[in-house]
Amino acid sequence: MKKLVLFGLFLFLFACNKQEQYGITVAFYNVENLFDTLNNPKNYDEEFTPTSDRKWDSQKYETKLSNLAKVISELANDNAPTFLGVCEVENRTVLEDLVHNSQIVDENYGIAHIESPDERGIDVAFLYNQSIFSVSEVKAYQPNLSDYKDKTRDILYVIGNTTSGETLHFLINHWPSRGEGRKKSEPKRIIAANTLTKIIQEIQHKNTSAKIIVMGDFNDEPSNKSISETLAVSCNQNTVKKDQLFNAFCELEDQDYGSYRYRSYWDMLDQIMISKSLITDTSGLHFITNSAAIKAEDWMIQTGKYEGFPLRTYGGNKYLGGYSDHFPVFIELNHN
């Protein structure tokens, strides 16, 4: 028994030392349709079953898990991130299967997830290194799209504490898509932005110095109205106001980089934003300037007809065996 306790302590210290060596990283990844192979009669998931045109079977599912785990294992500076928000996951089962993949099982990821009312049955979720972070509460907020007779993914709110005693607030998003066209669908994303704003205001009303990290696939870029005006973020970390968020990905948009490609254009849809307290509190956990990055390696990129696009799982109904139609993004934090 004594040997087991000492071995457990060794693993804990090893994990902490690894984080000290590489810092704390926060990432977000739209994993593109991570569905199991079972037909859920409550959701529109028929295309991801063995009898569908896509012939989504256990072998393809296992390949998808392995591909995603490979990306995650190298996502942030060639290491797995400390914190990872994901979207387009069907249920908790696929998350369990993902974190237990041999390529990332040693990262000791915990899962925060609540089933959302999205018609396709896709959710957002949050993975976290349990060696340095413990979750105290998980909530879900649904943007009210009743005027459109529609529902979308919940905004997932995760509260927890690091082993150093700091409380962190994470908000994971997947806003309504541009499927109807960007302008026509924009009001739905503005509703999501208003919902997110109210959550942030509630947090800051209780604690003006709360450390808040917002991430997601917003289906809008930093310069679009829902983010630049409704959410009213700052693109300059030196002038961000006390109740504002700083958007670490404005500069990448300005440089014409993106996490998603539509036709010949790159869109910076996946972003991470932070409260001012994560910039000014240099005695605790804080943002490393200019650390915002997109993970896009050659092996994650398509060749041939759609050269340069993210290598996804399917092109229409043609199986490509890739990773996702989005590239993941991340930022780095430091702690003193």
Q: Is the pLDDT of residue 3 over 70?
A: no
Determine the pLDDT at residue 336. Answer: 73
Residue 33: name the closest of 52, 14, 6, 19 by CA: 52
Q: Which residues lie below 8 Å from residue 214, measured CB to CB, with a gap of 6+?
A: 170, 171, 173, 196, 200, 245, 272, 273, 274
Q: Is the pLDDT of residue 147 over 60?
A: yes
Taking residue 11's Cβ as centre, other Cβ atoms within 10 Å add up to 13
pLDDT in tens, 287-335: 999 999 999 999 999 998 889 999 999 999 999 999 999 999 999 999 8
Determine the pLDDT at residue 43. Answer: 80
Distance between CA atoms of residues 31 and 21, nearest Å = 28
CATH class as words, domain 26-334: alpha beta
Determine the pLDDT at residue 264. Answer: 87
Q: How much of the chain exceeds pLDDT 90, in percent?
A: 85
Determine the pLDDT at residue 8. Answer: 40
What integer is the mean pLDDT of 132-157?
Answer: 97
Secondary structure, 3-state, 55-121: CCCHHHHHHHHHHHHHHHHCCECCECCCEEEEEEECCHHHHHHHHCCCCCHHHCEEEEECCCCCCCC
Q: Which residues lie below 8 Å from residue 62, measured CB to CB, with a gap of 6+?
A: none
Q: Is the pLDDT of residue 24 over 60?
A: yes
Q: Is the pLDDT of residue 20 over 60?
A: no
What integer is the mean pLDDT of 194-217?
Answer: 98
How does residue 22 score in pLDDT terms, banded at 50, 70 and 90?
Answer: very low
Mean pLDDT of the chain: 92
- What is the pTM assigned to this prediction? 0.93
What integer is the mean pLDDT of 37-59?
Answer: 90
Determine the pLDDT at residue 295. Answer: 98
